[in-house]
Amino acid sequence: MRKALQNQLNGAEQVKYKIIAVDDEIGIIDSLSVFLKRTDYEFVGITDPVEAIETIKREHFDLMLLDFMMTPLHGDEVVEEIRKFNKELYILLLTGHKDLAPPLETIKRLDIQGYCEKSDKFDQLLLLIESGIKSIKQMQEIKRINDELEETNEKLEQAYLESVQTLRYTVEAKDTYTRGHSDRVSEYSVLIGTKLGLPEEQLKILRIGGLFHDIGKIGIPDSILQKNAKLTDDEYSEIKNHPSIGAHILGAASIFKDIIPIVKHHHERYDGKGYPSGLAGENIPYLARITAVADTFDAMTSKRSYRDALDLQYVKDEFERCKGTQFDPQIAEVFINILNNDFEKIKEIQNKY
């Protein structure tokens, strides 16, 4: 094992960094080639800036030495093209005279790491190259550490996700109504979000938020969850605690930070008469307003112990009536449109769960 480790270390020390030089004067390329091939760097020299751009697209280079005054493209134009597909290449600009260098704001905008005046002696250039390689090594090490941390965090978050998923299944075991409810709310929410033109990242939050929106029911007594008769005022007050309980449960892991507003506020009303915070209008998180519509629809169209599923026309009329009071009017209107014109998608979700 010690020998294998030593071989790895030796291999790491033998890594050659690749440098590409771009200058339309062949004499400069030849001089740099002779100079840099005495070092431990792998060197490629190109006189055509357009060819250089294509080469960098195909091959990996760690550092580029780039002449500024070239034809058919100046150095800053070359960098402009390269930065469209490569943000990491370390670039040192070479100028015949410092007065010919591009403005400082251009150097900053294009993320050019430095520039150097051309000279018969390459001592200053070598120092800049060595400094650049040290920076590259540091950035690679930082990236390696970040990748390892990200991998570790993903494993921790996956473990926590699985734990909360187990809690969700426990809630469903306690409350027969909840079984399938969260899955349908999740899919209805995504359907509404898609019709609203939301980006994929927000659709993902809606999907996960819908799955876990009732997780707080784990803290509600079974006697209340499983009661067939009408709830007393005290029992209903207990039920109204589940959004806050859910937000508290999920608050321990950063993976859930984006869905907590859904979990906590999916029972708020647009007129401010909801719970737990009494938020109104646009003060209610937008994705929570979407989930509220999906949640209410599933509650109305699911069979309960004390009533059958409500008639579809009655449900439509209720959403129409409650626009601007219980529901965000724009979201309610979009959902009514789905019920009128895309109800087959609703049926697919209902048949699925």
Active site residues: 217
Q: Six-digit token pair at 210?
A: 């819908």
Strands 63-67 and 42-46: unpaired
- Let me know the angle formed at the C-alpha of 36 by 119 and 32, rounded to the nearest 5 degrees: 40
Contact yes or no for 325/244 (Cβ under 8 A): no
**Within 13 A of 35's CA, how many CA atoms are on the CB side?**
18
* Distances from the Cα of 247 to the Cα of 97, 153, 210, angstroms: 63, 21, 13
> Residue 42 pairs with which residues in a beta bridge?
18
Nearest alpha carbon to residue 188 among 332, 324, 66: 332
Which of 129, 152, 149 shows the shortest CA–CA distance to 66? 129
Q: What is the DSSP letter of 203?
A: H
Distance CA 8, CA 52 (A): 33
Neighbours of 332 (CB within 10 A): 25
Ramachandran quadrant class, 180 (left: phi over 0; alpha: psi -120 to 50; beta: rest): left
Report the DSSP pairing between strands 114-117 and 90-95.
parallel
Nearest in space to 186 (alpha carbons), one of 74, 262, 73 = 262
241/277 Cα distance (integer angstroms) = 11
